[in-house]
């Protein structure tokens, strides 16, 4: 009878003492609570209790390795005697780029389960209280350390525990999806500046490896912000990682451990230093996306670059400079040797500047920055400097001042050093203003080049420069063509002044780009610098005219040069607000309203999961080709109707300012710059890469095709 009463009392206690969490604690930017998988626990058994975080929108917490900054969530347990708590079972994190840093963590909601084991001496019928002191670092644009003291009551009962109806499913799914070993073999080796991590195994055969990413447990072994290039193999994959601080020490790590994610799957891996496993034995260019064409070697990449350089002459950003060169060539058309000297000087200016840009680009990437073609235009000081340079060229063409006899030596001595220097400068300037453009064939060539050794990359850039300079350089050596050009005369002075207006337009466009990068406050600085520069140019012109009349020139020339220097320093001083405005991303514009959202991997995945076609537009404000495509092909009424009819989602990846996530995605598709247009089908599958020059009809057809695939 006594035993029966004891059992009834235990059952009664179990019913009324189900696991009960205290009130959830709002720490300021998240709500935390303890939740249990089971309604009870048997003596000597183990259950899972999870720390639930409901994180405010736009804020995040951190994984066990927080990445470049941040701090992992910590739990300090206070348990009854004999009870024990195991380590947190960490779900796979998400990448959280923050400026130049790459962090790892969680957004919205996350469960961090931990195993709780009862001692064998636990008595059925008793109710225990589990206490946890949780510490979080919660970040948005700022980071706030927050704490919570949490409790959970849990009854002890014999037999198999009943699942908690509210939390058993979510905790079970979290545990099932958590990274775990899957029999994968791993090895790593240093290959020059790259840390090659090779992983093979049955779990990787036939898997989609396009989004593979390695999250190390140790925060010092890799540079988290660097892209991880992927090479597929028959048995797995090889990731190209950038070694971190640990590999700069005398005793470099002999093992790497972490999590390999493939989309929504995650595996725990451990790799030892040694020979890379068969099936993943080397590193090549990043994994290609569907439609990106065959893998390039150096000969084909150089050919593509040469053809792309030829086509680059037709891009709108180059027109003003090439018109200046055409005027110069016309001025020397009937002096064969002078024309040839001009052509060679122009060629030298183009090649020198292309190679200088290539060396700088390779050096910056080797230093760890996520940059590509046109990278210099992601820097507000550089954009400001170029705007003033365009203004100075326009003032020169307008006759405010002269460089030598003129910028290009138009109407002056035909083959003098000043004329050749002007031709060289024009070639250099043409390359600088061509940087915002990417011509067909250029993208795959440059994308391949930036994954290769420095000599191979320089060879591709040399081929690009040769293609770009070829039309004018060859024209200078073609007497038949030169003889058809009009002879120099008074018309050339008027034509030169007419060419000033495209340069004024280029300066205005660069100022617009600057405001997108550094905010409206940048306008005051650039306008002030422009006024000072214009005054300096006018004073130089006064000095030149006095000199022509035999007067004194020292004071005006000196003051003009000093003012021009002040203007240049004002523009180049790196004090533009890096956190300033960026391109608006919440609505379309132009001829029709085509709404779009800012690109993120999460938004792309959500759109695909909902069965909708997706168009991703990788663009930048400084990319002239991008802007032309948007106004010609992406904002027409027909395209707006196609988006509406197909239900397609439009995402914009804005690369106006540096963005490591966009850089990595471009590299994954074998690209070093924008534009890039990807169309994803409604039924999944590989994306389709659209041409770099779009038409309205092409976009409409691509969206309709994506609806059915």
Decide the pairing of beta strands 101-107 and 46-55.
unpaired
Same domain for 146 and 250 = no
* Mean pLDDT for the stretch of residues 49-66: 94
Q: Of all helices (H) and strands (E), which one includes residue 34?
A: strand 30-36
Same domain for 638 and 552 = no
3-state secondary structure of 449: helix
Higher pLDDT, 208 or 40: 40
| Residue 349 domain flag | yes
The 10s digit of each residue's pLDDT in 446-491 is 666 665 667 777 888 888 888 887 877 777 776 655 555 555 556 6
How far apart (Å, rounded) are the C-alpha atoms in residues 431 and 346? 11
Q: Which of 572, 606, 640 is the last residue of a domain?
A: 572
How far apart (Å, rounded) are the C-alpha atoms in residues 594 and 650? 8
* pLDDT classification of 40: cutoffs 50, 70, 90: very high
pLDDT score for 447: 62
* Mean pLDDT for the stretch of residues 683-702: 82
- Give the structural domain span for 213: 185-273
Same domain for 536 and 390 = yes
Q: What are phi and psi of 40, to 5 degrees?
A: -160, 180
Least confident of 92-101, 189-198, 305-314, 557-566: 557-566
Decide the pairing of beta strands 185-191 and 688-689.
unpaired
* Mean pLDDT for the stretch of residues 483-508: 68
pLDDT score for 349: 83
Residue 10 in this model has a pLDDT that exceeds 60: no
3-state secondary structure of 213: strand
Higher pLDDT, 572 or 52: 52
pLDDT score for 321: 60
How far apart (Å, rounded) are the C-alpha atoms in residues 672 and 657? 15
Same domain for 318 and 207 = no
Between the alpha carbon of residue 473 and those of residues 266, 339, 400, 476, the distances in Å are 55, 9, 29, 5
3-state secondary structure of 484: coil
CB distance 494 to 347 below 8 Å = no
The 10s digit of each residue's pLDDT in 69-84 is 888 999 999 999 999 9
* pLDDT classification of 284: cutoffs 50, 70, 90: very low
* Mean pLDDT for the stretch of residues 366-377: 52
Residue 16, domain CATH: 2.60.40.1250
Residue 268, domain CATH: 2.60.40
Give the Cβ contact number of residue 123 at 10 Å.
9
CB distance 136 to 25 below 8 Å = no
pTM: 0.43
* Mean pLDDT for the stretch of residues 303-314: 77
How far apart (Å, rounded) are the C-alpha atoms in residues 140 and 464? 42
pLDDT score for 434: 66
Q: At what angle do helices 380-397 and 554-572 cross, to 10 degrees?
A: 150
**CA-CA-CA-CA torsion for 418, 423, 427, 433, nearest 10 degrees?**
80
How far apart (Å, rounded) are the C-alpha atoms in residues 307 and 14? 78
CB distance 69 to 60 below 8 Å = no
**CA-CA-CA-CA torsion for 298, 299, 305, 309, nearest 10 degrees?**
150
| Residue 504 domain flag | yes
Which residues does residue 38 pair with via DSSP β-bridges, in sequence order? 163
Higher pLDDT, 143 or 492: 143
Same domain for 536 and 429 = yes
| Residue 229 domain flag | yes
Give the Cβ contact number of residue 284 at 10 Å.
15
Between the alpha carbon of residue 569 and those of residues 518, 519, 529, 536, 562, the distances in Å are 17, 19, 9, 13, 11
Higher pLDDT, 607 or 47: 47
Residue 65 in this model has a pLDDT that exceeds 60: yes
pLDDT score for 290: 34
Same domain for 342 and 216 = no
How far apart (Å, rounded) are the C-alpha atoms in residues 507 and 522? 14
| Residue 586 domain flag | no
Q: Quickly tell me which residue has 């409409």 as its tokens.
A: 700
Decide the pairing of beta strands 265-273 and 185-191.
parallel
| Residue 142 domain flag | yes
The 10s digit of each residue's pLDDT in 384-428 is 777 777 787 778 778 887 764 433 333 333 333 346 777 787 777
Same domain for 564 and 546 = yes
Same domain for 103 and 132 = yes
pLDDT score for 268: 94
* Mean pLDDT for the stretch of residues 653-668: 78
* Mean pLDDT for the stretch of residues 364-375: 52
Q: Which of 148, 176, 204 is the last residue of a domain?
A: 176
Same domain for 485 and 358 = yes
* Mean pLDDT for the stretch of residues 109-131: 94
For 254, left (φ over 0), alpha (ψ -120 to 50), or beta?
A: alpha
- For every residue of 35-100, DSSP letters joined together read EESBS-B-TT-EEEEEEEEEEPTT-EEEEEEEETS----EEEEE--TT-EE----PPP-EEEEETT
Total domains in the fold of the chain: 4
Which residues does residue 163 pair with via DSSP β-bridges, in sequence order? 38
Residue 637, domain CATH: 3.40.30.10
How far apart (Å, rounded) are the C-alpha atoms in residues 475 and 466? 14
Strand spans (E) along 242-374: 255-262, 265-273
Q: What are phi and psi of 676, to 5 degrees?
A: -145, 130
DSSP code, position 156: B
| Residue 107 domain flag | yes
* Mean pLDDT for the stretch of residues 308-317: 69
3-state secondary structure of 676: strand
| Residue 619 domain flag | yes
Closest C-alpha among 297, 261, 341, 234 to residue 95 = 261
Closest C-alpha among 340, 300, 309, 671 to residue 465 = 309
The 10s digit of each residue's pLDDT in 228-282 is 888 877 778 889 899 988 888 878 899 999 999 998 899 999 998 887 765 554 4
Q: At what angle do helices 500-518 and 380-397 cross, to 10 degrees?
A: 160
Same domain for 249 and 145 = no
Task: Report the chain's terminal Cα–Cα distance, integer Å.
Answer: 72
Q: Which residues contact 3 (CB under 8 A, 6 or more apart)?
A: none
How far apart (Å, rounded) are the C-alpha atoms in residues 448 and 626? 21
CB distance 358 to 434 below 8 Å = no
Higher pLDDT, 373 or 587: 373
Same domain for 471 and 359 = yes
* pLDDT classification of 342: cutoffs 50, 70, 90: confident
Closest C-alpha among 316, 657, 393 to residue 517 = 657
Reply yes or no: is the peptide bond before residue 675 cis, omega within 30 of 0: yes
| Residue 577 domain flag | no
The 10s digit of each residue's pLDDT in 614-642 is 999 988 776 767 777 787 788 888 888 88
Average pLDDT across the chain, whole number: 76
pLDDT score for 207: 79
pLDDT score for 479: 62
Q: What are phi and psi of 629, to 5 degrees?
A: -60, -40
Closest C-alpha among 196, 192, 527, 113 to residue 366 = 192
Same domain for 675 and 627 = yes
């Amino acid at each position: 009878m006594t035993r029966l009463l004891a059992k009834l009392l235990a059952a009664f206690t179990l019913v009324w003492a189900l696991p009960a969490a205290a009130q959830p604690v709002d720490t300021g930017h998240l709500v935390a609570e303890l939740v249990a998988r089971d309604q009870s626990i048997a003596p000597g058994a183990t259950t899972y209790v999870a720390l639930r975080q409901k994180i405010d929108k736009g804020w995040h917490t951190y994984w066990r390795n927080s990445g470049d900054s941040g701090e992992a969530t910590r739990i300090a347990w206070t348990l009854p005697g004999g009870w024990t708590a195991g380590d947190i079972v960490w779900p796979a994190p998400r990448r959280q780029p923050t400026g130049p840093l790459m962090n790892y963590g969680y957004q919205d909601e996350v469960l961090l389960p931990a195993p709780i084991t009862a001692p064998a001496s636990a008595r059925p019928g008793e109710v225990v209280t589990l206490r946890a002191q949780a510490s979080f670092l919660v970040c948005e644009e700022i980071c706030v350390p927050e704490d919570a003291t949490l409790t959970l009551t849990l009854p002890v009962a014999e037999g198999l525990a009943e699942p908690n109806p509210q939390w058993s499913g979510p905790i079970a799914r979290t545990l099932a999806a958590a990274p775990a070993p899957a029999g994968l073999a791993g090895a790593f080796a240093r290959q020059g500046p790259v840390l090659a991590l090779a992983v093979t195994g049955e779990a990787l055969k036939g898997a989609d490896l396009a989004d593979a990413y390695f999250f190390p447990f140790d925060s010092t072994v890799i540079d988290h912000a660097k892209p991880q290039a992927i090479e597929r193999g028959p048995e797995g994959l090889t990731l190209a990682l950038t070694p971190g601080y640990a590999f700069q020490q005398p005793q470099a790590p002999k093992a790497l451990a972490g999590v390999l994610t493939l989309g929504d799957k995650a595996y725990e891996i451990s790799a030892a230093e040694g020979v890379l496993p068969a099936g993943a034995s080397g590193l090549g260019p990043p994994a290609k996306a569907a439609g990106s064409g065959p893998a390039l070697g150096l000969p084909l990449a150089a050919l593509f670059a040469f053809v792309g350089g030829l086509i680059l002459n037709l891009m709108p950003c180059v027109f003003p400079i090439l018109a200046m060169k055409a005027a110069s060539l016309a001025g020397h058309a009937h002096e064969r040797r002078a024309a040839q000297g001009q052509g060679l000087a122009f060629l030298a200016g183009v090649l020198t500047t292309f190679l200088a840009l290539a060396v700088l680009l390779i050096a910056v990437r080797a230093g760890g920055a996520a940059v590509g073609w046109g990278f210099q235009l992601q820097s507000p000081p550089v954009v400001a400097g170029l705007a003033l340079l365009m203004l100075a060229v326009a003032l020169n063409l307008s006759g405010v001042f002269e460089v030598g006899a003129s910028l290009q030596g138009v109407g002056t001595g035909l083959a003098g050093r000043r004329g050749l220097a002007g031709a060289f400068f024009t070639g250099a300037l043409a390359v600088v203003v061509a940087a915002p453009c990417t011509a067909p064939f250029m993208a795959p060539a440059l994308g391949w080049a930036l994954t290769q050794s420095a000599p191979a990359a320089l060879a591709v850039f040399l081929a690009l420069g040769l293609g770009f300079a070829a039309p004018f350089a060859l024209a200078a050596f073609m007497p038949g063509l030169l003889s058809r050009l009009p002879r120099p005369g008074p018309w050339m002075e008027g034509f030169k002044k007419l060419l000033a207006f495209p340069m004024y337009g280029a300066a205005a466009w660069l100022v617009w780009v600057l405001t997108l990068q550094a905010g409206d406050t940048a306008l005051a600085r650039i306008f002030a610098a422009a006024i000072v520069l214009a005054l300096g140019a006018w004073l130089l012109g006064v000095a030149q005219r006095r000199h022509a009349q035999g007067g004194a020139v020292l004071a005006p020339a000196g003051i003009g040069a000093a003012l021009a220097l002040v203007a240049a320093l004002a523009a180049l001083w790196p004090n533009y607000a890096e956190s300033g405005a960026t391109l608006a991303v919440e609505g379309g514009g132009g001829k029709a309203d085509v709404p779009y959202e800012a690109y993120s991997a999460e938004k792309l995945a959500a759109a695909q999961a909902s069965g909708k076609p997706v168009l991703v537009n990788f663009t930048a404000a400084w990319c002239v080709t991008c802007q032309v495509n948007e106004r010609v092909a992406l904002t027409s009424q027909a395209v707006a109707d196609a988006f509406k009819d197909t239900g397609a989602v439009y995402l914009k990846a804005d690369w106006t300012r540096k963005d490591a996530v966009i850089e990595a995605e471009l590299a994954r598709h074998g690209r070093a710059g924008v534009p890039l247009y990807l169309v994803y089908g409604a039924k999944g599958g590989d994306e389709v890469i659209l041409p770099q020059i779009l038409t309205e009809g092409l976009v409409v057809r691509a969206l309709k095709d994506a609806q059915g695939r």
